[in-house]
Amino acid sequence: MFNRWISSALIGGAVLLGGCASMREIDADVQSFAQWSKPATSAPGVVSTVRYRFDRLPSQNEPNNAAGQALLEAQAKAALARAGWQESATDATHAVSLQWRSFASDDSRRVWGGFGFGGFGWGSLGADYVVTRGGQIVLLPARPVSPDWPLYTRELQVAVRDVASQAVVFESRAKYESRHSSDQAVAGLIVDAALDGFPNPPAGPRRVNRTEAVLAAAPARP
């Protein structure tokens, strides 16, 4: 068993050196609430196409924030389209808002446990995979990390408001924690997780898994 694990690790490392497609994966904690009112309601996107617009807070239009907000909205647009919703700036019946929050924490006690040595242990930064040319998915081994590395938390809140009544008819929150510092790398997956099951999501807290293929460029050869 140990030899098989070592072989998989070596194969994964060799594929990475040659350039390949790997899988980025997250597990987000999600809770959603829906309270649709007729007529747009009972099954938005099933009875007829529902038209919506994105609403932004003034701070989300600031130069430092606008690009990141556009990234969130682009991913939300794709998820809403799967439910039959269509963006419209002129005749929208619903308004969609997205609020993103990310922060770093040095509280490593919630993440690291088990054994380690000299303040330096083995921990998983999330499930990393590589796909070989033969189509086999290889799980890479955990990487050594320092417990002093910060833990990054991302929280997303999605709200859908009925334009006519101004009532909030859908709300969803997603939370994801990892050691990776790049918000942009995981933002799309978190938005998609928050809209899991839209427009009629399951009740109660749940863990939502999302993956996407990431193309790793091959290093230049001498």
Residues 19-40: pLDDT tens digits?
Answer: 556 778 889 999 999 998 754 4
The predicted model gives 109-124 an average pLDDT of: 38
* Least confident among 3-17, 111-125, 182-196: 111-125
Give the mean model confidence (pLDDT) for residues 74-91.
90
Q: Model pTM?
A: 0.68
Pairing of strands 85-87, 50-54: parallel
pLDDT at 113 over 50: no
pLDDT higher than threshold 50 for residue 46? no
Q: Write the pLDDT tens digit of every residue in 135-192.
A: 555 555 555 545 557 888 999 999 999 999 999 999 999 999 988 777 778 888 999 9
Nearest to 36 by CA among 198, 205, 213: 198
Q: In the prediction, which pLDDT does 21 show?
A: 61
Query: What is the per-residue pLDDT across 196-216, written as a single tens digit (0 to 9) for each?
Result: 999 899 999 999 999 886 655
Q: What is the mean pLDDT of residues 101-120?
A: 52
Residue in 163, 158, 166, 155 with CA at minimum distance from that of residue 197: 158
Cα–Cα distance measured from residue 205 to residue 117, given in angstroms and rounded to the nearest whole number: 36
Report the C-alpha gap between 28 and 107 in whole angstroms: 19
Burial code (b: 16+ CB inside 10 Å, e: under 16) for 15-50 equals bbeeebebebebbbebbbebebeeebbeebbeeeeb
Q: Residue 114 pLDDT > 50, yes or no?
A: no
Higher-pLDDT residue of 16 and 19 is 19
Single-letter residue type at 73:
E
Segments making up each domain of the chain, as ranges? 26-125+140-209
- At the second CATH level, the architecture of 26-125+140-209 is 2-Layer Sandwich (3.30)
